Amino acid sequence: MQRRRQLLRHLRRHPLDSALSLAIVLLLAWALWATGQWVVEVADWRVVSANLPLYVSGAYPADQRWRPLVWLGLILTLTLVTLLWPRPRSGQRPGPMRVALPWLWLLMLPLGLAVLAGGAGTGLTAVSSRAWGGLVLTLLLTGASGLLALPLGVILALGRTSDLPVLRHGSRLYIDLMRAVPLIAVLFFGQLLVPLFLPVELEINRVVRAVVAFALFASAYVAEDVRGGLQSIPPTQREAAAALGLNAWQSLQLVVLPQALQIAIPALTNQAIGLLQNTSLMALLGLVELLGISRSLLANPAFIGRHLEVYVWLAALYWLLCTAMALLARRLERSVQPIPRAPGR
């Protein structure tokens, strides 16, 4: 009531204001109407509905498609459990589920790789990574390169803040270099040049090369975020750790890094979301992740001219994924930092 009155008063204050507001509202309404009409009446969604399995797992063999589906189902379940499981009240120890969740998340990547690849030891038919694609590949690329980039970034950040000049300058050089080169160049470098340096017998998988190049790139950005966290830890924390007899490594591992990473979480979330979206660049390298599979579908004569449908659908999918990631990150932020950090003086 209060707010509505405020709004009305605001609108009446000036005729130009009112006219402008009205115009904006009309414009929005028209845009919504037009979009809605297009979505419902004009658009031909067969390009999406007929190809759902391709969007999910690309060219994965049809009789084995249950494997990527099971993995996606597990991730979805884990996401829901993470978001909906009650948080421990302050002053209480976290329950066993809270303790297990991070490990379950970590387990998802090797599990996904094993389930998709199959072969010896798993009792599943082996499926070459050439056949992987779609949403599953997007998630794997994001997860694997993120998981590689994080430790690498932490090491770089520590090097960057080290007392040893060689380490400090080396890390800085690497970070500056990586940040000065566009991602696509790094990716092409990984695909085309790296194999030239390696012995012929050692043929590294295309996906692995992409992941490594991607992680090398992302680690430079992660390093700067972690460095920000490291620098915001007061030196008195190290002093307190030292006075308790902890050695430099213990002080870093138990006192400084946990706090620095905690502070860096919002920035790292940004990186993770950027990472997910940037995996679409791998379509240019011929990987058929979400964007790649869409491009190959558009090349199919049956679906010619359906660009708009495909890209609207892709946008919705990416939006969904990024939103889920943002929600998970917010959850993480809250669960590790349930209280303000201000020293209670």
Partner 1 sequence: MTTALPSPMQPAIQASAICKRYDQGPAALDQVSLEVRLGEVLVVMGPSGSGKSTLIRTFNGLEAIDAGALNVLGIHLDADHDERQIRRIRRRVGMVFQQFNLFPHLSILDNITLAPIRVQKRSRQEAESQARQLLEQMGIAEHIHKRPGQLSGGQQQRVAIARALALKPEVMLFDEPTSALDPERVKEVLDAMRALASQGMTMVVVTHELGFAREVADRVLFMDAGRVVELNDARSFFHHAEEERSRRFLNQMQH
Residues that bind partner 1 (CB under 8 A): 90-93, 236-237, 239-247, 250, 254-255, 258-259, 262, 336-345
Nearer residue to partner 1 within complex by CB, 112 or 229 = 229
Q: Which is nearer to partner 1, 5 or 341 (CB)?
A: 341
Residue 241: CB minimum distance to partner 1, A: 8
- Looking at the Cβ atoms of 77 and 247, the one nearer to partner 1 is 247
CB-based contacts of 53-57 (< 8 A; 24+ apart in sequence)? 54/133, 54/134, 54/293, 54/297, 55/134, 55/135, 55/290, 55/293, 55/294, 55/317, 56/134, 56/135, 56/136, 57/132, 57/133, 57/134, 57/135, 57/136, 57/137
Q: How far is CA 111 from the centre of its chain?
A: 18
Q: Which is nearer to partner 1, 64 or 262 (CB)?
A: 262
Residues near 226 by Cβ (< 8 Å), separated by ≥ 6? 153, 154, 157, 260, 261, 264, 268
- Residue 119 has φ and ψ, to the nearest 5°, of 85, -160
The CB-of-94 to partner 1 minimum distance in angstroms stands at 10
Q: Do you know the residue count of the chain? A: 345
Cβ atoms 113, 140 nearer than 8 A:
yes
134 vs 178: CA distance, rounded Å: 28
CB of 331 to partner 1, least distance (A): 17
Looking at beta carbons only, is 129 or 250 nearer to partner 1? 250
C-alpha 28/C-alpha 42 separation (Å) is: 20
Q: Least distance in Å: CB of 99 to partner 1?
A: 14
Q: How far apart are CA 55 and CA 297, in angstroms?
A: 10
Min CB(34)–partner 1 separation in Å: 51
Which candidate, 105, 101, 71, places its Cα nearest to that of 272? Answer: 105
User: Rounded distance, CA 1 to CA 125, Å?
Assistant: 64
Q: Which is nearer to partner 1, 5 or 93 (CB)?
A: 93
Q: In whole angstroms, how close is the CB of 252 to partner 1 at the nearest point?
A: 12
> Rounded distance, CA 264 to CA 222, Å?
9
What's the CA dihedral at 72, 77, 79, 83 to 10 degrees?
170
Considering the complex, what minimum distance in angstroms separates the CB of residue 266 from partner 1? Answer: 16
Determine the Cα–Cα distance for residues 161 and 257; give it in Å rounded to an integer: 13
Q: Which is nearer to partner 1, 290 or 332 (CB)?
A: 332
> Would you say 41 or 163 has its CB closer to partner 1?
163
Q: How far is the CB of 284 from partner 1 (least distance, A)?
A: 42
